[in-house]
């Protein structure tokens, strides 16, 4: 176990000096949400076609909603050991229809 921990620490320290940017996930273009998808009309298949498969799914209940909405979650991360930025996009469905989205980002506009 100690040898493994030392090897991992050495690897992390080695990568820190490389200056490489590590990317996880895929950055979703929110303009596709605005241009191609219509709340109440677009389907899950439409969302899949425009954005690809989500990283995860679940449910959300926001103020003003009478019931939880199925939610698809997209994540993109990039950075190194000292500077990491993320973009979160949540896509909501009301029944079988697209209902809108919400995003947070430290990258700027996705």
Please check whether residue 1 lies inside any domain of the structure. no
Please check whether residue 88 lies inside any domain of the structure. yes
Please check whether residue 28 lies inside any domain of the structure. yes
Please check whether residue 71 lies inside any domain of the structure. yes
Q: What is the pTM of this model?
A: 0.75
What pLDDT, on the 0 to 100 scale, is given for residue 12? 59
20 phi, psi to nearest 5 deg? -70, 145
CB-based contact 92:37 (threshold 8 Å): no
Alpha-carbon gap, residue 83 to 42, rounded angstroms: 37
Averaged pLDDT, groups of 10, the chain, 110 residues long? 62 58 81 89 95 93 93 89 85 96 77
**CATH number of the domain within which 43 lies:** 3.30.1450
What pLDDT, on the 0 to 100 scale, is given for residue 24? 79
Alpha-carbon gap, residue 101 to 91, rounded angstroms: 4
Closest CA to 78 of 51, 105, 50: 105
Domain range for 72: 21-105
What pLDDT, on the 0 to 100 scale, is given for residue 13? 55
Between strands 69-79 and 84-94, the pairing is antiparallel
């Amino acid at each position: 176990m100690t040898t493994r921990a030392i090897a991992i620490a050495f690897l992390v320290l080695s990568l820190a000096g490389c200056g490489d940017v590590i990317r996880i996930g895929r950055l979703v273009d929110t303009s596709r949400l605005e241009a191609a998808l219509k709340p109440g009309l677009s389907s899950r298949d439409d969302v899949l076609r425009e954005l690809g498969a989500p990283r995860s799914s679940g449910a959300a209940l926001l103020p003003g909603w009478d019931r939880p909405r199925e939610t698809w979650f997209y994540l993109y991360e990039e950075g190194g050991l000292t500077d990491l930025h993320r973009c979160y996009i949540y896509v909501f469905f009301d029944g079988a229809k697209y209902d809108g989205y919400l995003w947070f980002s430290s990258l700027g506009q996705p």
